A and B are shown apart, each in its own frame.
Chain A
Amino acid sequence: MSWLDGLSHRLRSFLFPGRQARELKDEFAFHLEQDERHHRLDAARARRRFGNPTVRREEVRAMTWGGRLDVIRQDLDHLRHAVLRDPGSVLLIVVTLSLGIGANAATFAVFDRAFLRNPAGVREPDGVRRFWIEHTRTGDGVPFRAQSLSYQMYRVLAGATGHPGNIALFATDFALHLGTGLSGPRVGAVYATSNYAQVLKVPIAQGRFFGPAEDRMGEDAGVVVVSHRFWLRHLQGKSAPLGDSITVGRRHYRVIGVMASGFIGLDLRAADLWIPLAAMPRSEGAGPRWWEEPVDYPFRAVARRPGGLEEPGFEERASRLMRSYQRETFKEHADTMVRVFVGPLIEARGPVPLGQDMVIMTRLVGVSVIVLLIALANVINLLLMRAEARRREIAVRLSLGIGRVRLVRLLILEALVLATIAGIGATTLGWAGGTVLRRLLFSFVEWTEPALDGRVALFTVAITFVAGLLAGIPPALQASRPNLTAALKSGARQGVRERAFLQRGLVVAQAALSVILLVGAALFVTSLGKVRALDLGYETRRLVVGTVEHADGDAPAAPAFEARARDVATRMAGVPGVEVVARTSIVPMWGYASTKFYTDRDSAESIPRPWPVYVSVTPEYFDAVGLRVVQGRTLSSEDGAPEVVIDEAMARGVWPGRNPMGQCLRLATRDAPCHTVVGVVGNSRLSYVIEPETTPRYYVRLDQKGIGGGPPGPVILARARPGTAALVARELRAELTAAFPGAAVEASTMRDRLDPEYRPWELGAILFSMSGALALVVAVVGLYSIVAYQVKRRTHEFGIRIALGAMTADVISQVVRSGVGTVAVGVALGLAISLAGGRLVSSMLFGVTAANPAVLAGVAAILLAAACFAAAVPAWRAARVDPAIALRDD
């Protein structure tokens, strides 16, 4: 076993280095003695023939493990010194890198979950596909894609695959309350076909998933499978939960299984209950055999490959079948353009344009990369300066014979050690930032895992390593080939030019990248301002909206309902701070009702699109929500002839060029009683803060007989005096709770309700501003340190100039000009890149284009001003140099 011989030899010399040294010494002595004797040499001659014994001994030592350890020990010693020397610059490097890496870790934590990671708990997730359907919007003919399916469409898709068992249908409902009534905690429930668990290959931890026998349409088997965390939280993790009963509203479900831990459904939001699709409550207005009706689209479908999906032309075949189904079902408005798409399980990667929050998410990745690049440029500069300060030490080491490879390795190791320290800081930053970021971006998701997990940690380690290498290599290469003679000479000032070029290049890059981020920030802030300034037609900040929601079948009969709502409104009118109270049936911007109508002249069909919709209101409504009266008056509170108030869009669309006042509107049928137009009010939003077109509206009285007041959800609107909205909301909530015991009551300002719509704009503005400010600070610090460093190197020169009579102002302006000049190059570069890359963010902007001259000029001015400041401080110090001291200084 020869390798054992080698190993034992290595071990011996490692464990007993002293003995090895002694043996070598003896051996060398023996050798010399022999040589003298054999060749009759004198000792000196023999020694010459032998060579330098110390070198040989070192050579032997270097080959042993002990020798390797020596090198590592020396390197570590060097690193310790290097990190401890100049703690100021070390701190700056570590903090800068931490910010850069931390920003990326935080972004990755969120990006990974939304874009890269398959839903937890699904086995072989790459084999699961989602379905998308492309419809064509009636009216403008714009195609849009969605995952929404009706049960009948699912049957068509299942037929198209040829493997109906391999495609599962499900609908997720997050509005269920646990227990009777609506006071229990909300749970997410998935109504699914019985092959759901099998298609997804989700393991069941206990019990079983429901089978086909429990999923016969029209029968409620009353069984449920719960998530692992639901089992822990609500069933106390009992060892035998099976058979326990869960109450949701009026239904009771027997627990027959517990899902594997970690599986929370296919959405970002966690689901806790899985109920057979057959037990799904039918939606409002649907018949008892709702699954046969073609109007409900709450479902999504997933299938596992191959199962027919892999066959060539599957999408075409499915689209063809879907089209013929549509043609048969909707004879009047057959949407004949329907197409079927098959996409990946990760929803964000489906064949659909991303939502605003997702777009922000992807752009954030770019932003954090830019922040890291700026940080890197800065750290390279700082490391260059450190290396420069140690020029003489490095030259001494080189002339003493340290190998260049080892020197480069040492300097890179130094950067890696600094990066590792930064990486530890970055992990903390990434965890905190990721937590904040996902709460901001996906506020609706209850996250089950921490922002920092194995993948994020691994990513942070990888990026730390790469950053350390990138930051360490250029300074190491530069430092390892100094002009030895120049560096060793005391007080030498040569060799600055080349390094200054690299440093200036880095400043240019930082300035350019900062410009990009600042332009982005300015564009987002401008967009946010424009969105906020939009006139929705409502007085959103002072309008308090109160709603009542009853559990299935709990609602009182309509007359009682109506009476109680009226009582609440009357009492609210007396509350201090309330200006006016109104009632309506649907929360403004949260839905609408429409019906056919006829004017005396036109048939309904000739009314231009979009089709006018109506709102049922009490007469105080207009005053309460803040609608401006343009013409005539609002609805009268006395009973009398039917009246209607229309908005400007309706006046223009239905009676173009004519006076709408006194015109007749017949609702639902041609021979219905005439509603006389008594007034015209301003336009208002139908559903969204940003709407491409205005939908015409008309207002009828809430107690109007004939067309019905829409679904009976009493909505109380109270307009509060400025500054009292929160108080009024609390009062309204209390009143509603007292009037409708057991119901879920909500009261908040309309602005709060609309908050999710403003949020993406606010987020974009906040995130870009923060990163822009960060970039600016880092770039200014970088420029400052470089100018300060160069000024220090030129102290001698300034001393001579001042001694020769140079004016203080000359010295300052010279230093500032050179610093600002460098930044100006970067600014120009950054502006060019911003202009070219503008289209990447144009979809996220509102009311401003990427090539906005004011924005570009403003950013350039900010950066140049910052550069002036960063250069002026060291310049001023340079100008105060005492020539006597400067000239003495080496």
Chain B
Amino acid sequence: MTPHRRSELVPGTLEMLILRTLSLGPNHGYAISQQIARLSSDVLQVEQGSLYPALERLLSSGLVKAAWGTSPTGRKARFYTITASGRKRLDAEVSAFDHVALAIARVLGRAEPA
């Protein structure tokens, strides 16, 4: 049974955003969702729950690591850290994204043809 992903993001994009967030430093799930919302100036709204399956996918492929720690508010929380191959993947994803985004922009007449 595969429930529908209700995120309005292109599949795979959420993982890229999480990696980007974590590249700034380790963080727990809630903070990651807040940061994505903030960084995108609240344009990209993530259904909060769908964050965790995405995190599980990243954990399983060894792109992030998780460990229990204490949050700034003194609560026990699970902190995620990006791994070396996570960074590599992020770079690759970003450059691929740039490539596609530029191409789309050209088609839409928003960028100079190469």
Q: Is the CB of A3 within 8 A of B85?
A: yes
CA distance A2 to B60 in the complex (A): 10
Interface size on B, residues (CB 8 A): 34
Contact partners of B84 in chain A: CB under 8 A: 2
- Whether A614 sits at the interface, judged by CB under 8 Å, is no
- With beta carbons under 8 angstroms apart, the residue of B1, B62, B68, B75 that contacts A2 is B62
Contact partners of B59 in chain A: CB under 8 A: 6, 9
Q: Is the CB of B52 within 8 A of A27?
A: yes
Q: Which residue of B lies closest to A34 (CB)?
A: B30
Q: Is the CB of B63 within 8 A of A2?
A: yes
- With beta carbons under 8 angstroms apart, the residue of A2, A26, A403 that contacts B83 is A2
Contact partners of B85 in chain A: CB under 8 A: 2-3
Given A2-B63, A60-B53: A31 and B6 interface contact (C-beta under 8 Å): no
Contact partners of A52 in chain B: CB under 8 A: 49
Contact partners of A2 in chain B: CB under 8 A: 62-63, 83-86
The binding surface of chain A is classed by DSSP as: helix
Q: Is the CB of B30 within 8 A of A55?
A: no
Q: Is the CB of B30 within 8 A of A6?
A: no
Contact partners of B41 in chain A: CB under 8 A: none
Chain B positions 6 through 50: 1 when the CB is less than 8 Å from some CB of chain A, otherwise 0: 100000000000000000000011100110000000000001111
Q: Is the CB of B56 within 8 A of A51?
A: no
Q: Is the CB of A58 within 8 A of B78?
A: no
Q: Is the CB of A62 within 8 A of B2?
A: yes
Chain A min CB distance to B67 (Å): 11
Given A2-B83, A59-B53, A62-B1: A31 and B60 interface contact (C-beta under 8 Å): no
- Whether B99 sits at the interface, judged by CB under 8 Å, is no
- With beta carbons under 8 angstroms apart, the residue of B33, B52, B61, B78 that contacts A60 is B52
- Whether B110 sits at the interface, judged by CB under 8 Å, is no
CA distance A50 to B47 in the complex (A): 6
CA distance A2 to B1 in the complex (A): 29
- Whether B106 sits at the interface, judged by CB under 8 Å, is no
CA distance A64 to B47 in the complex (A): 22
Q: Is the CB of B60 within 8 A of A30?
A: no
CA distance A64 to B65 in the complex (A): 16
Chain A min CB distance to B85 (Å): 4
Q: Is the CB of A9 within 8 A of B76?
A: no
Q: Which residue of B lies closest to A401 (CB)?
A: B1
- With beta carbons under 8 angstroms apart, the residue of B28, B53, B60, B83 that contacts A10 is B60
Q: Is the CB of A23 within 8 A of B78?
A: yes
- Whether A28 sits at the interface, judged by CB under 8 Å, is yes
Q: Is the CB of A9 within 8 A of B62?
A: yes
Q: Is the CB of B77 within 8 A of A28?
A: no
Contact partners of A30 in chain B: CB under 8 A: 28-30, 71, 75-78
Q: How large is the interface on A (under 10, 10 to 19, 20 to 34, 35 or more residues)?
A: 35 or more
Q: Is the CB of B30 within 8 A of A31?
A: yes
Q: Is the CB of A55 within 8 A of B86?
A: no
Q: Is the CB of A63 within 8 A of B47?
A: no
Q: Is the CB of A31 within 8 A of B75?
A: no
Given A2-B83, A2-B86, A10-B60: A24 and B1 interface contact (C-beta under 8 Å): no
Q: Which residue of A lies closest to B58 (CB)?
A: A6
- Whether A402 sits at the interface, judged by CB under 8 Å, is yes
Q: Is the CB of B50 within 8 A of A6?
A: no
CA distance A64 to B60 in the complex (A): 8
Contact partners of B61 in chain A: CB under 8 A: 6
CA distance A26 to B48 in the complex (A): 15
Q: Is the CB of A55 within 8 A of B49?
A: yes
CA distance A678 to B88 in the complex (A): 111
Q: Is the CB of A51 within 8 A of B1?
A: no
Q: Which residue of A lies closest to B3 (CB)?
A: A55
Q: Is the CB of A9 within 8 A of B60?
A: yes
CA distance A192 to B8 in the complex (A): 82
Contact partners of A55 in chain B: CB under 8 A: 3, 49
Q: Which residue of B lies closest to A23 (CB)?
A: B78
Given A5-B83, A7-B62, A30-B76: A53 and B49 interface contact (C-beta under 8 Å): yes
With most chain A CB atoms within 10 A of its CB, the pick from B33, B57, B59, B68 is B59
Contact partners of B66 in chain A: CB under 8 A: 9
- Whether A539 sits at the interface, judged by CB under 8 Å, is no
Chain A min CB distance to B23 (Å): 14
Contact partners of A401 in chain B: CB under 8 A: 1
CA distance A49 to B49 in the complex (A): 8
- Whether A335 sits at the interface, judged by CB under 8 Å, is no
- Whether A331 sits at the interface, judged by CB under 8 Å, is no
CA distance A855 to B85 in the complex (A): 76
- Whether A38 sits at the interface, judged by CB under 8 Å, is yes
- Whether A296 sits at the interface, judged by CB under 8 Å, is no
CA distance A683 to B46 in the complex (A): 102
- Tell me the residues in window 58-82 of chain A with beta carbons closer than 8 Å to chain B beta carbons: 58-60, 62-64
- Whether A220 sits at the interface, judged by CB under 8 Å, is no
Chain B positions 69 through 101: 1 when the CB is less than 8 Å from some CB of chain A, otherwise 0: 001000111100001111000000000000000
CA distance A53 to B1 in the complex (A): 15
- With beta carbons under 8 angstroms apart, the residue of B3, B29, B34, B76 that contacts A38 is B34
- Whether A746 sits at the interface, judged by CB under 8 Å, is no
Q: Is the CB of B78 within 8 A of A27?
A: yes
CA distance A34 to B31 in the complex (A): 9
- Tell me the residues in window 136-174 of chain A with beta carbons closer than 8 Å to chain B beta carbons: none
Q: Is the CB of B62 within 8 A of A56?
A: no
CA distance A23 to B49 in the complex (A): 15
Q: Is the CB of B78 within 8 A of A50?
A: no
Q: Which residue of B lies closest to A10 (CB)?
A: B60
CA distance A424 to B29 in the complex (A): 53
With most chain A CB atoms within 10 A of its CB, the pick from B6, B60, B65, B85 is B60
Q: Is the CB of A27 within 8 A of B29?
A: yes
Chain B min CB distance to A478 (Å): 23
CA distance A31 to B52 in the complex (A): 10
Chain B min CB distance to A794 (Å): 37
- Whether A757 sits at the interface, judged by CB under 8 Å, is no
Q: Which residue of B lies closest to A400 (CB)?
A: B1
- Whether A134 sits at the interface, judged by CB under 8 Å, is no
Q: Which residue of A lies closest to B55 (CB)?
A: A60
Chain B min CB distance to A453 (Å): 44
- Whether A735 sits at the interface, judged by CB under 8 Å, is no
- Tell me the residues in window 1-55 of chain A with beta carbons closer than 8 Å to chain B beta carbons: 2-7, 9-10, 23-24, 26-28, 30-31, 33-35, 38, 49-53, 55
Q: Which residue of B lies closest to A402 (CB)?
A: B1
Q: Is the CB of A51 within 8 A of B86?
A: no
- With beta carbons under 8 angstroms apart, the residue of A33, A35, A63 that contacts B48 is A35
- With beta carbons under 8 angstroms apart, the residue of A4, A24, A53, A63 that contacts B62 is A4
Contact partners of A50 in chain B: CB under 8 A: 47-49
With most chain B CB atoms within 10 A of its CB, the pick from A2, A4, A30, A56 is A2
Contact partners of B1 in chain A: CB under 8 A: 58, 62, 401-403
Contact partners of B6 in chain A: CB under 8 A: 51
Contact partners of B33 in chain A: CB under 8 A: 31
Chain A min CB distance to B74 (Å): 12
CA distance A2 to B56 in the complex (A): 15
Q: Is the CB of A31 within 8 A of B48?
A: yes
12 A-B pairs within 8 Å (CB atoms) are namely: A6-B61, A6-B63, A9-B65, A27-B78, A30-B28, A31-B30, A50-B47, A51-B6, A51-B47, A60-B53, A402-B1, A403-B2
A interface residue numbers (CB < 8 A to B):
2-7, 9-10, 23-24, 26-28, 30-31, 33-35, 38, 49-53, 55-56, 58-60, 62-64, 401-403
B interface residue numbers (CB < 8 A to A):
1-3, 6, 28-30, 33-34, 47-50, 52-53, 56-57, 59-63, 65-66, 68, 71, 75-78, 83-86
